[in-house]
Amino acid sequence: RLDGETPSLLSGMNGVVEIATGAPLAALQVPSTALTDSMLGPYVFVLSPGQGGSVVHSLYVKILGRVGDDSIIQAPGLGSGQRIVALGGFRLTDGQRVSPQTP
């Protein structure tokens, strides 16, 4: 915003601009194929160790944006290094036992 009735800003002049963006968000970049949609919103399946294999649990997320084939998400409770289901999550149910495989 320029103050004054006749601002003295001319073509070719330099200036400094400050853009308020708010507090930084904790976000993760995941493959878009890891997201599953429901009536309650998008979610991912998180792998947890269990007896006789891993167990998946759904975790609702907020999509902040997209970068190529990936999505940038905000997911409270999901941290870097935790494993998620990257493909085929639409076939799973919460609490289901799975045998993770690398594609």
Domain of 40, CATH number, reads 2.40.420
Two structure tokens written together for 44: 């991912």
**Which band of pLDDT confidence, cut at 50, 70 and 90, is reported for residue 79?**
confident
* pTM for this prediction: 0.73
Structural domain total, the chain: 1
Domain range for 40:
28-98
Q: Give me the pLDDT at residue 35, please.
A: 97
Judge whether 10 lies within some domain: no
Q: What are phi and psi of 32, to 5 degrees?
A: -60, -25
**pLDDT above 70: residue 2:** no
- Kindly report the number of other CB atoms within 10 A of residue 58's CB atom: 18
For the chain, give the mean pLDDT: 87
Judge whether 16 lies within some domain: no
DSSP annotation of 24: P
Judge whether 73 lies within some domain: yes
Judge whether 86 lies within some domain: yes
**Average pLDDT for residues 48-61, to the nearest whole number?**
89
Q: Give me the pLDDT at residue 101, please.
A: 83
Judge whether 50 lies within some domain: yes
Judge whether 5 lies within some domain: no
